[in-house]
Amino acid sequence: MSDAITSADSPAGSGLAQAGMRFASSEVDTTHGPILYLEGISVSFDGFKALNDLSLTIEDGELRCIIGPNGAGKTTMMDVITGKTRPDAGTAFFGQAIDLTRLTEAEIAHAGIGRKFQKPTVFEQHSVFENLELAMKTDKRVRRTLRARLDDADLDRIGETLSLIHLRDQADRIAGLLSHGQKQWLEIGMLLMQEPRLLLLDEPVAGMTDEESMRTAELCMTLAGRHSVVVVEHDMDFIARIARKVTVLHEGSVLAEGPMDVVQNDPRVIEVYLGR
């Protein structure tokens, strides 16, 4: 297994690392099953079970919201999916054939799982356009993208992404000058340039204005279907806006799962989370 090669210039944790590639995202096989399958996952930190026999399935193209109190294990779950943390027990598959517990973080990113951390990490000194271009250059079609000039298809993809993330009129702006919300969108755009099958968004609207938050809700709904999207968020107005199926985590496992109105009225969920 080869080690990750991370450019010193690369924003930390943005999934841009290149590595020895065993899978390409186009190979993820979901013909007979979900895009993500977690079963019996446990993670302990000094005897404390951050995840406790967690089982969760995400269908291809689904938009799933994950809620739950602080310390419920939401971020740890994302760490397991992205290979940052190894589970002590359990099964984690991406599609039918890719065993996530056997891959490095870089291999998982390359296989088609993109993760957006809470804090935006963009190349501050480059323009919005250049940020998207750089993200594309580290993608899997290395031979094609090593060419110095962008072809029409590349320009189309960048243009499409700029529209999607509401930054078309900011393309030439230095990323460091964007608002916090715009930086968050740019980072999502950078992930999209790598054409992930599964996108993990950890608290995407934290620190956003109401309007930015509303636009992020629209973006999430647009992305669903083209990608599978897992959103962890505390902002219940935001969740209510985008929610289809909602999973409530509590003490490292699934407490409840279902449509928003069912979950919201579940007495156990009100007790541990919503009621407080």
**Which residue lies nearer to Mg ion by CB, 75 or 253?**
75
* Cβ-based nearer residue to ligand ADP, 74 or 137: 74
Name the minimum Å distance from CB 247 to ligand ADP.
12
| DSSP-derived pairing of the beta strands 36-45 and 48-58 | antiparallel
76 binds, among ligand ADP, Mg ion, none (CB under 5 to 8 A by kind): ligand ADP
Exposure pattern of 49-83 as b/e (b: 16+ CB <10 Å)?
A: bbbbebebbbebebbbbbbbbeebbbbbbbbbbbb
Sheet containing strand 48-58, strands side by side: 48-58, 36-45, 89-94, 98-99
Q: What is the C-alpha separation between 103 and 109, in angstroms, rounded?
A: 10
Residue 45 interacts with which of ligand ADP, Mg ion, none, CB < 5 to 8 Å by class = ligand ADP
Site track 45-64 with ligand ADP (rule: CB under 6 A), x = hit:
x----x--------------
65 forms part of the interface with ligand ADP (CB under 6 A): no
- CA dist list (Å): 85 to 47, 90, 159: 15, 13, 35
Question: Six-digit token pair at 113?
Answer: 């799982």
Among 64, 74, 116, 227, binds ligand ADP (CB under 6 A): 74
Contact at 8 Å (CB) between 46 and 30? no
73 binds, among ligand ADP, Mg ion, none (CB under 5 to 8 A by kind): ligand ADP
Q: Closest distance between ligand ADP and the C-beta of residue 7, in Å?
A: 26
Shortest gap between Cβ of 45 and ligand ADP (angstroms)? 3
Q: How many residues bind ligand ADP (CB under 6 A)?
A: 10
Please measure the distance between the N-terminal and C-terminal CA atoms of the chain and give it in whole angstroms: 47
Tokens of 92: 């984690």
Q: Does 75 bind Mg ion (CB under 5 A)?
A: yes
Residues forming the site for Mg ion (CB under 5 A): 74-75
Residues forming the site for ligand ADP (CB under 6 A): 45, 50, 68, 70-76
